[in-house]
A and B are shown apart, each in its own frame.
Chain A
């Protein structure tokens, strides 16, 4: 995906920690740099939302309802006269919480299961991986719709539901990577020296098998944002009056001919966040897995 990267000597990185290391990072992988910077900025905006937002997300000003971008409301207002920019900033809070939370759940459970399945093989492998096949037999959104629909519509259930969908994905990637590492000589050597399975898995296998998992994690954070906004868009995710980007889009639909900013702004906001995670994922792919560069 990315263009040719120049490798920078490590020594240079260490001696000039600030600007130089940023430059080195950029040179090594422009896409990881742009994506990473974008994500860090969005995280800062999301988690200190009240500092950045000019209004509060529920503040209504009916006199100013459905007005376009102006100096007082940079990105216009919605049908209740709420400030669109403010709601986007607070919407990022929900997006990022879902992205980090769901990938966290999927990562912890999936990596553990994949590690166990790949390390022990045999019956344990089957006991772990066959149920994973079942979870993979549904398109993600259908499973998430069903789980939130049957269990309840709120933020933690949404995070959990998307996390459950991610478990088999992480488990498969981790299992594959573990299988590759377990056969290596140094693992054999450590085992011959009498290292316990737990030690082997945590010290020798996990750190060496984690790279493809991290690449996957970045892409799945982007997909989590898409799932959350999609779910809220169809009415099964975040409930009004909370400012989810997907919910803003669905609310804006009835006004889209008169107030197109109500649908354009949240969509662009979602795309920027997802783009950030995808760029970061591509960059990690190039850095951590150089043999697949450019694919």
Chain B
């Protein structure tokens, strides 16, 4: 019950953020000097087309009514029109969103698989090889630009060794192996930055828990070391680890923007970048909306997991 109240509280706190986010995205287009319809269609647009766009955006209305109309459309699932190709933006996004989600989840899994065991080992054996490896990853992983790492991986493993394709995307429905192969290098590229942060957090969280009395007690009781570490210590350290994973997910979404570009993956990030380059503003707005929404949802999931893992919240001793 306490947990439900906690979740409800989190949801309630989200409303102002969602509201503010929508205003910010709405205003971006209005901030460009000049008539938004001309901005969207370009200077060579015919008067009739301009009139249609003006009408659809409700540009003759006062600005707050324009916002309400725009928000109303979004809430009904109408994210607007790509006026260049005359396709609804939702159609564009439908194929793009799964690509970005698959890329980020794949990267998340890789980062966890690399960083958490390494971080634990680094904490359990200080100054050992794992500790030095963790330090190296922790420092270099956040210092190397991900797009450069991507290019280096392409040079080595795609163009050099030919283990993976250098770019392009194979849908899951076409070939599972092909799909995983097309995602491996981009996901690895994206994972390194997160792994760098994660390995440091895991190491310090585990170190902190190892220092607590109950660990000494469990060891004294003669519990197998493996069990102490992987059952008791890890559970207590997981609160911090999960929180950081959630907080860093935004980094993955941001990184995806550039990594999708490097590997020519047709995701939301690449859509935003190309639309921005073409000054195709309604598409940029929709893409930003999707990214912000995903980001906010992930933060909510993190909060809920945090509540589930943290006995103070789970059992309601605030």
Contacts and interface: CB of A to CB of B under 8 A. Distances in A.
Contact of B273 (A1, A234, A260): A234
Given A151-B31, A270-B148, A134 B277 contact: no
Contacts of A133: 16-17, 20
B254 A141 contact: yes
A294 interface: yes
Contacts of B152: 263-264, 267
A282 B147 CA distance: 24
B145 A130 contact: no
Q: Is the interface of B mostly helix, strand, loop or mixed?
A: helix
A233 B29 CA distance: 24
A49 B103 CA distance: 40
A257 B159 contact: yes
B139 A236 contact: no
Nearest to B299: A137
Contact of A267 (B31, B140, B148): B148
B281 interface: yes
Nearest to B148: A267
* A interface bracket (residues with beta carbon within 8 Å of B): 35 or more
Interface string A106-136: 0000000000000000000000001101110
B21 A137 contact: yes
A139 B251 contact: yes
A138 interface: yes
A263 B155 CA distance: 10
B134 to A, nearest CB: 10
Contact of A1 (B145, B147, B148, B200): B200
B138 interface: yes
B244 interface: no
B276 A134 contact: no
Nearest to A295: B204
Nearest to A3: B127
A142 B277 contact: no
A295 B151 contact: no
Interface in B170-222: 200, 204, 207
Contacts of A256: 151, 155, 159
B204 A149 contact: no
A150 B283 CA distance: 12
Contacts of A246: 145, 147
Contact of A137 (B135, B149, B295): B295
Interface stretch (A19-27, A81-89, A271-279): A271-279
B291 interface: yes
A271 B200 contact: no
Given A137-B292, A141-B254, A275 B151 contact: no
A234 to B, nearest CB: 5
Given A134-B24, A139-B251, A150-B28, A236 B142 contact: no
A275 B251 CA distance: 18
B58 interface: no
A257 B146 CA distance: 19
Contacts of B284: 146, 149-150
B204 A249 contact: no
Contacts of A295: 200, 204
Interface of A: 1, 130-131, 133-135, 137-142, 145-146, 149-151, 222, 226, 229-230, 233-236, 246, 249, 253, 256-257, 260, 263-264, 266-267, 270-271, 274-275, 278-279, 282, 294-295
